[in-house]
Homo-oligomer: A and B are copies of this chain.
Amino acid sequence: MSIADIVQRSDTTPGRIFDWTVIALIVISIVMLSIATLPDLSQPVRSFLTIAEIFVLALFALEYCLRIVTAPRKFGYIFSFYGIVDLMTIVPFCLTLGAIDLRALRILRLFRIIRILKLSRYSQAMSRFREALALAREEIVLFSAVTAILLYLAALGIYHFEHAAQPEAFSSVLHSLWWAAVTLTTVGYGDVYPVTTGGKLFTFVILMCGMGIVAVPAGIIAGALYRVNQNEDREKSL
Interface string of A21-46 (1 = CB under 8 A from B): 00000000010011101110000000
Pick the residue among B171, B172, B185, B190 that contacts A211 (CB under 8 A).
Answer: B185
Report if A165 contacts B (CB, 8 A): no
A102-120 interface with B by 8 A CB criterion: 107, 110, 113-114, 117
Report if A187 contacts B (CB, 8 A): yes
User: Is there an interface contact between B185 and A186, defined as CB atoms closer than 8 Å?
Assistant: yes
Query: Which residues of B lie under 8 Å from residue A125 when comparing CB positions?
Result: 138-139, 141-142
* Residue among A187, A214, A218 having the largest count of chain B Cβ atoms under 10 Å: A187
User: Is there an interface contact between A181 and B204, defined as CB atoms closer than 8 Å?
Assistant: yes
Query: Which residues of B lie under 8 Å from residue A173 when comparing CB positions?
Result: 33-34, 37
A233 nearest CB neighbor, chain B only:
B227
Known: A39-B171, A186-B185. A177 touches B191 (CB 8 A): no
Report if A223 contacts B (CB, 8 A): yes
A157-191 interface with B by 8 A CB criterion: 159, 167, 171-174, 177-178, 181-183, 185-191
Interface string of A189-215 (1 = CB under 8 A from B): 111010000001001100110011011
Pairs across A and B, CB under 8 Å, 24 listed: A33-B173, A34-B152, A34-B155, A34-B174, A35-B174, A38-B172, A39-B167, A107-B156, A114-B149, A122-B142, A124-B138, A125-B141, A129-B142, A135-B229, A178-B200, A181-B204, A181-B207, A185-B186, A186-B188, A190-B190, A216-B225, A219-B219, A222-B222, A222-B223
Q: Which 6 A-B pairs have the closest CB atoms?
A: A219-B222, A190-B190, A187-B188, A215-B218, A125-B138, A34-B173
